[in-house]
A and B are shown apart, each in its own frame.
Chain A
Amino acid sequence: MIGISLFAYLVAGIFFIMALRGLSSPETARKGNFLGVLGMLIAGVTTLTEPVIKDYSWIIYGIAIGGIIGTVIAKKVKMTSLPQLVAIFNSLVGLAAVFIAFSAFLLPEAYGIGESGNISVGSLVEMSLGMVIGAVTFTGSVVAFAKLQGLLTGNPIIFPLQQLLNLIFAITIILLLVLFAGNQSGLVFAILALVTLIFGILIIIPIGGADMPVVISMLNSYSGFAAVGVGFTLHNSLLIITGALVGASGAILSYIMCKAMNRSFTSVILGGFGAEAKSANDDDGDEKIAKAGSAEDVAFIMKNSSKVIIVPGYGMAVAQAQHAVREMADLLKKEGVEVKYAIHPVAGRMPGHMNVLLAEANVPYDEVFELEDINSEFSSTDVVCVIGANDVVNPKAKTDEGCAIYGMPVLDVDKAKTVVFIKRSLASGYAGIDNPLFYADKTLMLFGGAKKMTEEINRSMEG
């Protein structure tokens, strides 16, 4: 019996690996997702056949309640709110890990790790590590959610001696953990949980809104390591395998996001980005004049070009202009113009966010290109149309060593023959840095909301 369930867990683990493997291409991804569901089903059914499980009614109710809530949320959520959704799901996994660790402590017999009051030191350490990581994931993700949703200010929340306070909390957590492993007191375990929950809040509040893509990825990886902690406690290989996969995934995504913003991981964790950028606002003193154009001009230029690259930014998504942009691309294609989309890794609010937003507007994915794949094409492009983006196309990142985004990889739109910006104003972006491209001779500024202006361009192209 034990042999069979171990084998089933192995199969489930392989299915999870294949689910991730499927995501290497949109063609295989849906099949991969199905394998993931299958793996979960195998894991669940295998566990339900364990002799410890005698009462099924609560389990069925629990899965039904959770399943309905999860499905409804997932069906209703707007694609612009995806980061919030992922933050919520991360927090749920973290909180579940906390509850499971407490269950294991209260009823170790069910998990086969000794009896109450006589749990081995190894198991105690494993369950408290699982609990600690879960608790940090939970409150950290709740704070990240509140920041993304605008319930909390996106600005970093900083107060004096913050790092020292965090250090004190970290040391307290370690001491409580050692104490708990020694005396296995329930009270110490509860205090440990409480202190860790507060610690989770403290480490996320100093991180600014611009760094949220890194934070969500990081919390995603924590949720995986919480599963690993629970897996070690329960001596369950499937939990360890899956947790390691998720942990690796989150870590790689945070690395990619850091790279894309040219931020070091430590500086993200220490926080404060956004506040320092305010002072980076430089003024050269000389009057700079941006050339403002009209929708008709832009429509005329684009119609008569042979290649157009569209650079969408988060401003486009906020204005809900995706569909209008796709219509614009369709009209251009009808005129025989080659149209491509160029996406910067941090164009959205989480990894791959912009790709989903474009896909939702029926933009075919084979017209959408990542930075490294399209950057060499700008020099052979007639018109680049930048919609609601700024920092990710700022040439200062390549030239101005003093500016906050220096070294950040940017889209080389300045190499194109003509650059069109659809933007509300000349205001600087998230990083608070002026963009010299606005004042270049080849640039045409189209001032206005992304949706309204794109629709105007479409009208004059049709007319």
Chain B
Amino acid sequence: MKGHDVVGNAHGVADMAETLAVNTKVLANDVSMLSSQTQEVVSSGSEFWLLMTIFVLACFVGYYVVWKVTPALHSPLMAVTNAISSVIIVGALIATGPILVTTSKIFGFIAVILSSIAIFGGFVVSHRMLSMFKKKKVR
């Protein structure tokens, strides 16, 4: 009789343990999902701040470098900045890249043309200006 009881209780305990195990597993899954979600949020937030850090530091670099530019070369400076800000062609290339012809690809193509004009034009005209600046001829 006693033996029977023990066996019955053991069964009950085993059942309970199994339920507990399942529950723990579910909980673990939930926790891991939650943590991965949090990580995603944290990483997208931290990526923004990473880019923001780059932006702010680059502003400082720009500030100090541009003040060093001699006033005589401010026109070539503007032409060069025209050319280098057209580095947004990077975004245009990605849009033009896919094989499928979509509105996005057509827009990208237009943007490639527009930024190429500014890249080539900016560098060529600043080169033209800079080759005019000559020192006094020593005779």
Contact surface of A with B, Cβ cutoff 8 Å = 12-13, 16-17, 19-21, 23-26, 29-30, 32-33, 36-37, 39-40, 43-44, 47-48, 50, 52-55, 58-59, 61-63, 65-71, 73-75, 77, 79, 82, 85-86, 89-90, 92-93, 95-97, 99-100, 102-104, 106-107, 110-111, 120, 122, 216-217, 220, 223-224, 226-228, 230-250, 252-253, 256, 343, 345, 348, 350-353, 355-356, 359-360, 362, 364-368, 370
Contact = CB atoms under 8 A, between A and B. Distances in A.
Contacts of A20: 62, 65-66, 69, 77, 80-81
Contacts of B108: 99-100, 103
Nearest to B64: A248
Given A59-B96, A365-B72, 9 more contacts: A47-B89, A63-B116, A82-B75, A85-B125, A93-B118, A239-B91, A241-B61, A246-B85, A250-B78
B111 A99 contact: yes
17 contacts: A21-B65, A53-B93, A54-B97, A62-B112, A66-B116, A89-B82, A89-B83, A92-B86, A234-B90, A237-B54, A239-B90, A241-B61, A246-B84, A252-B63, A352-B71, A359-B132, A365-B72
Interface of B: 44, 47-48, 51, 54-56, 58-59, 61-63, 65-99, 102-105, 107-137
A74 B121 contact: yes
Q: Which 10 A-B pairs have the closest CB atoms?
A: A66-B116, A248-B62, A352-B74, A53-B97, A62-B112, A70-B121, A70-B120, A351-B74, A244-B58, A103-B95
A195 B116 CA distance: 27
Contacts of A122: 44, 48
A52 B80 CA distance: 29
A30 B127 CA distance: 7
Contact of B88 (A59, A226, A244): A226
B109 A364 contact: no
